[in-house]
Chains A and B, each alone.
Chain A
Amino acid sequence: MLTLIGVLIVIIGFALRVNPLLVVTVAGIATGVAGGLSPVAIVSDFGRAFTENRYVGLVWLTLPVIGLLERSGLKERAQELISRIQSATSGRVLLLYLAIRQLTASIGLTSLGGQAQMVRPLIAPMAEAAAEARFGELPDKTRYLILAHAAAVDNVGVFFGEDIFLAMGSVLLIKGFLDGNGIHLTPLHIALWAIPTAIAVFIIHGARLLLLDRRLSKQFKDRKT
């Protein structure tokens, strides 16, 4: 049971809003000590995993370009275009992106999207602009809610789209693991059973996006243009 001390530290630390870097590092060291690892092994494990996962940090490479685009008025331009489409709402913009993201991921095109590549420069400003075109300047709280929804749509779309693609990591992991346990299935057989969930999540999350629209209309009903 003592090995779970790291989990406990993370939960308490995150709840108390202590600097997450410190919480995770302390939790890692505590877990290692509880698991009987030597101090050198703990620090080495830390360093090795940090290096092996450098790929996650490559997303920051996009920031200089995104900064240039922003200072040159990309967001303002996106707002102008979106405000010309009468029927555009935040929820509908995001619903369309959800459909595209799920469909492209399901045929293996997961790189055609992403938080730094699509959401920050294009999708989030468009969703925000659609609401601003209707209701004028938004209070910060509403703005943050729309932005959070933009990020969520990208995640939901890719998670529950990619599993339908045969060559995706998750399908191959499942196949490999079951093969190792003497159960032999084709990737097609596994990917097929991801379809019901993919349809369900599109309905559930799509409905929530339309509810977001209703909530915004209600909140700003006296401002409607």
Chain B
Amino acid sequence: MIRLEFIYALGGLLFLTVAVLEFLDRANPKRYRKTTFWGIYGITFLFGSVLPPFATGCLVILMVLVTGWKDLGASKVKTTTETERRQSAARLRDKLFIPALCIPLVTFLGTLLLPKIAINGQALAAAKDSTLVSLGLSVIVALVAALWLFRQRFITSLHEGRRLLTAVGTVAVLPQLLAALGALFAAAGVGQVVSEGVTRFIPADATFLVIVAFTVGMALFTMIMGNAFAAFPVMVAGIGLPLIVHKLGGDPAIMAALGMLSGYCGTLMTPMAANFNIVPAALLELPDKNGVVKVQIPTGLILLAVNTLLMYFLVFRF
């Protein structure tokens, strides 16, 4: 059985390798801080489930402190020039797509098949972990294919990994930090405060206003928490069930489905949903980390209005 922990260890090894490469590059500005940052990140991946949470917490805070006020900046790593890439593209042609397609295809097939294939009565991967385990395996398959097809050395892939990871920068760890913030929000009861605030301002018999308060509340609360799943129970318990379903007689399935989808409109519009919005911006090396959010805001707003109207016209009809 391939445990998720094995894939985390792979990630840890990659980050530790980047830390070593950062350290070995003497011309690298902020060399020690970069080494510390990626080194700690690697340790939290390798030993995360063994370390006590308090120790991990201390390491994470130390890791944040070495980044200082501004990002540490990308490291200069030698790669090919545009002319070289054009020549290589002309030579390799469509072979170039094989490793690229390996990643989504192997991830997809693995997700379907790994939980079904059993050896000695044990599935190759647990169903809940199968996508992540398959993603890890797909990277290995794609890497082997790329090294073989392009006649490259393994060390080159590590240098390339360093080039791209430092281009993403320290924002790479932001989604995990935001998840930690969400946990503290939940522990401190931020949800209750927000839902009390929203419910206090709406007259319970003004049907349209109740619907607006619910859909817009879902979107806003999702924007704060960065996650519609965190907003859903609070808003449904605060407005959806007591007002829309019980008091006004609305259909619970429509209320819940459109409520959740209104939350998703919020996800499109917030930097707090970092793995969807900030990570891609970093991955595509956009200078404006909010570039993706900005493009999504018009769709998010229009769709929120559509959801509100859909709920208003449908929820009392079925």
**How far apart are B198's CB and chain A's nearest CB, in angstroms?**
13
A145 in contact (CB, < 8 A): yes
B35 in contact (CB, < 8 A): no
Question: Once bound together, how far apart are the Cα atoms of A208 and B297, in whole Å?
Answer: 12
Question: Once bound together, how far apart are the Cα atoms of A199 and B132, in whole Å?
Answer: 29
Choice from A49, A148, A155, A181 contacting B286 with Cβ under 8 Å: A148
A-contacting 9-mer, from B23-31, B115-123, B138-146, B205-213? B138-146
B99 in contact (CB, < 8 A): yes
CB neighbours (8 Å) of B287 from chain A are 144
Question: Once bound together, how far apart are the Cα atoms of A173 and B263, in whole Å?
Answer: 13
The B interface is mostly helix, strand or loop, or mixed, namely: helix
Q: Is the CB of B100 within 8 A of A74?
A: yes
Given contacts A50-B177, A114-B104, contact A73 B60 (CB under 8 A): no
CB neighbours (8 Å) of A49 from chain B are 176, 179-180, 182-184
Mark A65-102 against chain B: 1 for CB-CB distance below 8 A, else 0: 11111111111110010000000000000000000000
Q: Is the CB of B299 within 8 A of A156?
A: yes
Q: Is the CB of B60 within 8 A of A35?
A: no
Give the interface residue-count category, chain B: 35 or more
Q: Is the CB of A45 within 8 A of B232?
A: no
Given contacts A61-B136, A183-B252, contact A47 B53 (CB under 8 A): yes
CB neighbours (8 Å) of B187 from chain A are 32, 35, 37, 41, 45
**Contact residues of A between 101 and 145, Cβ < 8 Å to B:** 109-122, 124, 144-145
A210 in contact (CB, < 8 A): no
Q: Is the CB of B277 within 8 A of A68?
A: no
B281 in contact (CB, < 8 A): yes
Question: Once bound together, how far apart are the Cα atoms of A204 and B41, in whole Å?
Answer: 40
Which of A66, A122, A173 counts the most B-chain CB atoms under 10 A from its CB? A66
Q: Is the CB of B97 within 8 A of A74?
A: yes
Question: Once bound together, how far apart are the Cα atoms of A35 and B8, in whole Å?
Answer: 32
Choice from B11, B85, B92, B93 contacting A61 with Cβ under 8 Å: B11
CB neighbours (8 Å) of A54 from chain B are 8, 11, 44-45, 48, 176
**How far apart are B215's CB and chain A's nearest CB, in angstroms?**
11
> What are the 4 tightest A-B residue pairs by CB atom distance, in nearest-first order?
A67-B160, A35-B188, A47-B57, A73-B89
